[in-house]
Each structure stands twice: as C-alpha cells, then as structure tokens.
C-alpha cells in the first residue's frame, strides 16, 4: 500500500506540473519536478501515514471514506504550502528560483483525490455497474418499492452480491418530489399505483418491498398487479426482524416471500434496550406458560438480555419439551430450569418460588380459547382467576421485584366467560398493586397472529384441504399483533411500569377476518372462487368487533411511541377479594348457572349470545376456530 501511494503521489505531482505548463513540458518544468518531487512525496506520505490512509480495501469506498480521504488530502496540501513558505523564507528555492505556484498545489490536490479515490472506487464501480451484465449465473431484474435510504442500501447491496445476481431497474415511490429523479444511479419510475404501467413497459422478475413500507390496501393492490404480470413480490425484513435473526441488512439471502403479517402493515416494535437490560440482566426470570406461543417467545426475548437464570413453568409436558429443545438450541449460555407444574398447585408453585427465588415474573399461563371456555366456564374461572391470584400472592410473599400479567382485549366489556375471567384477573392485579412492594402491571393483548389455535393456521389447513375457508361473519373484525411484538410489549412494560398500569400496543386499525381469509387465499397462489369462503355464524361469546379500552378508561401515551397505558376507576382489594370468594362455588356448577352468576358478580359481563350446542345452527365441522383468534394452550400453559 505504501508503494502504491508513493507511485500515485509521484503521478499526481507530475500531472499537476504538466497541467500548469499547458501540457508543453520544457527544461524549467523538469527542473522544478526534480527539485520538489522528493520533499512533496515525503510530506504527503507522512500526512497520509499519520491519518491511517494506507489501510483500506479495494471496492469498499463509502461517503465516510471519501470524506476522510478529502480531509487528509487537504491537510497534506496545506502542509505542502507551509513547507514551501518556510523554504522561501530560508532561501532554499526550487530550480526556477521562485516560490511554487499555488495553482500547482490546487491541481495536485484534485489529482490526488482523483487517482486515489478513483482507484479505491474502481472495483465497486465494476461490481455494481457492469457485473450483472457479464455474469454467467442466474440474473433477475428487480423493482424496489421505496426510494428511501433503506431502498438505496438495498439497491447497492443487491448489485454487489453474486448469488443470486440482480439488475435493479428502478424505484417506485409515492413521494411526488422524487418523481423522475435518480437514487443510487437508478431512476424513480413513478408512484406505487403506477406499478401496472411500469411492469407493462419493463421486464421485471421480482418486486422488493421493505416490511412496513406500504399500507395494507396499497400492498394488496401491488400484489394484484404483480400477479397479473407473473411477477413475484418479496419482502426485505424490517430492522427488528434482521436484528432478531442475525441477518445482513439488505442482503439477497434475507429476502423472503410475502407473509400475512406484511399485509397488516405491522411496523416493528423497537425496544428500549437500556431500560430492559437494567431490569432483566443478572436477575432470575420466571415465565409461566412458557411452552405456549407467547410464553416461549418471551423466553427467547428475555435471553437476549442475559438474565442470571431463566425458569420456565409449563403444565403441558409436550409443550415444555419443545420449549426446552428450542431454548437450549439458542446456546446463550444462560442457566435454565424447565419446571413441569400446574399454576393451581399451590405447594408445587410455592416450592418453585422458594427454590428459584425469581426477581421478575411473566405470567403467560392461561386458558384463552373463547368457544371452548363457553362450554367449560368453570375451568376459565379456576385457571385464569385463581391461578393469577395465587401467583400474585406468592410474588409479594417472596419479594419479586416485578410481575407482569398478560390479559386480552376481550376483557373490555366482556361478552365471553374467557373475557370475564381475564377482567377479574386484571382487577385483582391492579387492586393488589396499590399496596404491594412488588411492581405489578398488566399487558392487554389484541389477537396474536399465528399463535397456537389462532385463525391463521386454521385458514392454512383449510386452504391445503382445498377449502372452503370458514369465517364466522362477514363483518367480524379484530386487532392483530405478531408473536414477537406481543412478547416485546410484555418485556417493555416490565421496564417502564410503575405499578398498577394496563399497557397496550399500538396495533393500528382493526382488520376484517374475511379480508384476512382472502389475503391468505391469494398468498397461497389459489383463487377465491376455487377455494371459497363460507360464513358459519358467530360462536358463543364472540363479538363482531373488539375494543381496546372501555368507556371508563382513559389512554395515556408513554415515552415509548408504540406503547400506552390506560387507567380507570381504582379497584379496591377488599371488594375484589369478595368477588373471588363468590367465585369459589361456581366451578362445579352447570355452565348456564356459572354464566348467570358471573353476570351478578361482574356487571360489565354481557353474554353476546346464548350458547348453542355443537353441530347446530348451520355450523360446519371445524367452525369452532374460524372466528376465534386467541391462543388455546392447556391449563397452566
């Protein structure tokens, strides 16, 4: 590198003198070159050496590298001027007997930048501009949606990768100020709505969209336009996904097919890592229901922050076995304990608290399947209410620092036994938090996309069978969140909760289930007429639309842009304990008696419709999951 730079310094200095002499070299110019070349090269070499400019790799010139090169070259030129002034002052002049022309210095600066910067950029230029046309491998043409910085990075990185090779034909962007402009040398060809026109004019193999870039309606139109021309649509994962998976930003290897979550425009939840790390790091963390979709994801997220020990409690043996295999395979080095236990078994759970001494508890164990619990309401009360109360009391007794209970939007104006049981659990946690040493908070979820027993796997199964896809009602709609978002919300609430709050995630607008079904049919490559959608009627306990807050509650934004909390009338522990005492006699009663009693105990509970036996009212086999988008783990899981 030193020899290469010395050669470039020589060439730059000779070129600057030659330019100053109008490319007509004569004896005075040659004398000037001989008298100055040594000290000029020495000065420039020393300056470049002091600024670590001899350590770089061909083809890796960035704007930051170019800026550092410009600074170093400018400093070298100013040093040459200073040395020349000193030489003149002490009478040591070049061959012409006069001071060097300052124009020679300026020309030398430009020549140095051109030669060194150009040499560094040459491999990258060849790789990005010419390689796709001369490669013999698979070459695909791509259209990028979003002329943002992310889109620009994506375009450059795609051009730099050899397998597969991409030729990016341009961008689509709804920013009217970018129309016709060039980003990374590529033209912005129009708005997203112009996709059909662009695809008609240019051969495109794939359209690449950054996750969360487009609203759901625009994404669906883009998918329709792409399908018409036989073009694949792929997604570049969001930064949150890349960090979680360890992927390389904007690499072809992380491009994935469009998934149902992309059509929900679910932007990633960015965690406040500093706050969370202070709560979790070097502490014993206990997760109940750790074998369920949410519980296991909470465990994975917690491991990122290096707890001293992770304790996973789960009643279902198979679920605990799967959770152990999945968490151990992460090889985090964090000691873990996997406890097969029911949260209703007081002696067993007390022993776990006594042995492990948890400092942070995430309570994810619950019964959550709406239609199933309408037929078994006693189990909902036993597990969701009494299980939560036991854990709350033990957390306070064993001086747990923070306790997070997971609830659901179905607890707002509950129309189901499951929602009613969750409302009672919420109130118990809030009432207990008022005088407790432990910090107790509640996290209220929407519907978790892709969790166990949710509508997405059910639709996938029905599509694979050839249909029909069963939906309860054409107007039923729900709020959605992804499994990682749900887990991250729980962990974030742990860090920012002061005690007694109910936290919510910004989930955007509610989504109609029938639209979700149509999207899944489309993404599967099938036609809606071929698969078919059948409406079966609302299930017992279901509402057409869920709500996130009640009329008595108020929403307050936290410092985290995606998280807020609600507060309403304060629950009094004595009153809640009295309600729980009245619940004790219910689990052994018939379902109708339990529902009637719950209406007297919880005035907000209003059954959406009378329960109906299975197989009546026009229901088709398998319809019990078609409108229920909540998780269905076993008791305690």
Q: Tell me which residues are annotated as active site.
A: 410
Q: Count Cβ atoms within 10 A of the Cβ of residue 16 and give its class: 0-12 exposed, 13-18 middle, 19 or more buried.
A: buried
Provide the residue count of the chain.
Answer: 637
Tell me, what DSSP letter sits at residue 450? T
- 106 in Cβ contact with 78 (< 8 Å): no
Rounded to the nearest 5 degrees, what angle is found at the Cα of 626, between the Cα atoms of 458 and 490? 75
Q: Say how many C-beta atoms besides its own lie within 10 A of residue 199's C-beta.
A: 18
Strands 511-512 and 477-478: antiparallel
CA–CA separation, 35 and 17 (whole Å): 12
Q: Which residue has the tokens 């003149």?
A: 88
Strands 447-449 and 480-482: parallel
Strands 139-145 and 563-567: unpaired
How does 275-298 read in b/e, with b if 16+ C-beta sit within 10 Å? bbeebbeebbbbbbbbbbbbbbbb
Strands (E), 546-608: 554-557, 563-567
Helix (H) or strand (E) holding 635: none
Give the CA count within 13 Å in the CB-facing half-sphere of 35.
18
Distances, alpha carbon 389 to alpha carbons 182, 384, 386, in Å: 61, 9, 5
DSSP readout, 499-516? SS-EEEE---S-EEHHHH
Tell me, what DSSP letter sits at residue 413? S
Which pair of tokens denotes residue 428? 């118990």
SS3 178: helix
Tell me, what DSSP letter sits at residue 246? T
Q: Which of 259, 260, 200 is nearest to 231 (CA)?
A: 200
Q: Count Cβ atoms within 10 A of the Cβ of residue 14 and give its class: 0-12 exposed, 13-18 middle, 19 or more buried.
A: middle
Helix (H) or strand (E) holding 395: helix 387-397
Contacts of 535 (CB under 8 A, 6+ apart): 470, 471, 472, 473, 474
Which pair of tokens denotes residue 322? 């799967």
């Amino acid at each position: 590198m030193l020899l290469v730079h010395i050669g470039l310094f020589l060439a730059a200095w000779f070129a600057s003198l030659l330019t100053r002499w109008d490319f007509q070299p004569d004896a005075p110019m040659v004398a000037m070159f001989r008298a100055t070349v040594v000290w000029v090269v020495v000065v420039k070499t020393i300056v470049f050496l002091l600024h670590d400019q001899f350590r770089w790799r061909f083809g890796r010139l960035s704007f930051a590298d170019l800026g550092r090169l410009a600074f170093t070259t400018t400093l070298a030129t100013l040093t040459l001027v200073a040395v020349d002034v000193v030489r003149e002052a002490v009478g040591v002049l070049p061959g012409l007997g006069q001071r060097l022309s300052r124009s020679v210095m300026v020309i030398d600066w430009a020549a140095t930048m051109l030669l060194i910067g150009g040499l560094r950029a040459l491999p990258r230029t060849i790789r990005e501009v010419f390689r796709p046309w001369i490669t013999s491998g698979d070459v695909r043409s791509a259209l990028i949606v979003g002329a943002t910085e992310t889109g620009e990075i994506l375009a450059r990185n795609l051009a730099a990768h050899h397998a597969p090779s991409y030729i990016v034909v341009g961008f689509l962007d709804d920013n009217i100020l970018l129309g016709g402009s060039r980003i990374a040398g590529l033209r912005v060809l129009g708005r997203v709505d112009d996709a059909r026109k662009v695809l008609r004019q240019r051969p495109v193999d794939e359209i690449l969209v950054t996750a969360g870039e487009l609203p759901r309606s625009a994404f669906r139109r883009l998918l329709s336009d792409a399908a018409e021309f036989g073009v694949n649509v792929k997604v570049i994962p969001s930064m949150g996904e890349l960090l979680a998976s360890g992927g390389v930003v904007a690499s072809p290897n992380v491009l994935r097919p469009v998934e149902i979550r992309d059509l929900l425009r679910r932007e990633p939840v960015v965690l406040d890592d500093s706050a969370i790390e202070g709560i979790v790091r070097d502490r014993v963390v206990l997760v109940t229901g750790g074998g369920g979709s949410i519980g296991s994801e909470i465990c994975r997220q917690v491991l990122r922050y290096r707890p001293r020990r992770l304790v996973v409690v789960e009643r279902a043996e198979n679920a605990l076995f799967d959770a152990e295999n999945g968490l151990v395979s992460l090889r985090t080095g964090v000691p873990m304990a996997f406890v097969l236990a029911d949260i209703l078994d007081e002696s067993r759970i007390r022993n776990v608290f006594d042995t492990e001494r948890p400092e942070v508890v995430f309570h994810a164990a619950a019964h959550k399947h709406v239609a199933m619990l309408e037929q078994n309401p006693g189990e909902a009360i036993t597990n969701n209410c009494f299980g939560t109360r036991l854990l709350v009391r033990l957390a306070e007794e064993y001086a747990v620092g923070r306790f997070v209970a997971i609830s659901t939007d179905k607890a707002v104006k509950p129309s189901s036994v499951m929602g009613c049981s969750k409302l009672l659990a919420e109130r118990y946690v809030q009432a207990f938090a008022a005088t407790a040493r432990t910090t107790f908070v509640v996290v209220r979820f929407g519907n978790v996309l892709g969790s166990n027993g949710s509508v997405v796997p059910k639709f996938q199964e029905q599509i694979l069978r050839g249909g029909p896809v069963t939906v309860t009602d054409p107007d039923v709609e729900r709020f959605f969140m992804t499994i990682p978002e749900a887990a991250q919300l729980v962990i974030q609430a742990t860090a920012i909760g002061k005690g007694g709050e109910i936290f919510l995630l910004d989930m955007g607008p509610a989504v109609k289930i029938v639209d979700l079904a149509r999207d899944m049919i489309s993404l599967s490559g099938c036609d809606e007429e071929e698969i078919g959608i059948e409406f079966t009627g609302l299930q017992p306990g279901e509402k057409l639309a869920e709500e996130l807050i009640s009329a008595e509650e108020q929403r307050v934004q936290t410092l985290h842009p995606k998280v807020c909390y609600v507060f309403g009338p304060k629950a009094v522990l004595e009153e809640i304990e009295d309600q729980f005492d009245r619940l004790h006699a219910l689990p052994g009663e018939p379902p109708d008696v339990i529902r009637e009693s719950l209406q007297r105990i919880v005035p907000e509970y209003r059954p959406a419709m009378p329960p109906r036996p299975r197989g009546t009212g026009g229901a088709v086999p398998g319809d019990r999951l078609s409108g229920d988008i909540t998780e269905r783990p076993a008791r305690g899981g």
